[in-house]
Structures are given as structure tokens and as C-alpha cells.
Amino acid sequence: MWFVLLIGIIILAYSVIEIPKFKKSNQKKELWTFSSLLLVGYSLLIAQTMNAPIPNPLDMITFVYKPVSKVLFALMS
């Protein structure tokens, strides 16, 4: 738990430094991207610390492409 809190403080400090730079140079898309990736990463860190099952991205890719590969193999046979 202390690890998550420490990382949260580091993220907060980093955000306090970086967000004004984004606002000053009027980079709204970069600010949204930065914020959303930071939020997703921190959420995954919390989930991993709590031993929650985190899905593997490769499983989703396999789920999508498995039927495609079956069709292609059937067409080539």
C-alpha cells in the first residue's frame, strides 16, 4: 500500500510540473493524452497491487484474429 501511495505522490508531483507546460503552449490534445495514459497506468498499478486479474492484451488480439485465421486456412486448403 505504501508503494501505491509513493507512486501517487510522484505522479502528482510530475503532473504539477508538466501540466502548466502543456497549458502554456496550448497543447490540449497532448494534455488529454498525457492525463489519460497516466490515469490508466496508475489504475493498472493499483489493480496489480490488489492482485486483481488484469487481462492480457494478447488475449484480445487472439480472440479477434482466430476466426480470421480459420477462414484463411479453410480457403487455402
- 14-52 residue pLDDT tens: 999 999 998 999 999 999 999 999 999 999 999 999 999
- pLDDT at residue 58, as a whole number: 93
- pLDDT at residue 31, as a whole number: 92
**Whole-prediction pTM value?**
0.69
Residue 13: pLDDT band (50, 70, 90) is: very high
Any residues with CB less than 8 A from the CB of 59 and at least 6 apart, and which? Answer: none
Q: How far is CA 74 from CA 15, 63, 64, 65, 66, in A?
A: 52, 18, 17, 14, 12
* Mean pLDDT (whole number) for 6-17: 92
* Mean pLDDT (whole number) for 57-74: 91
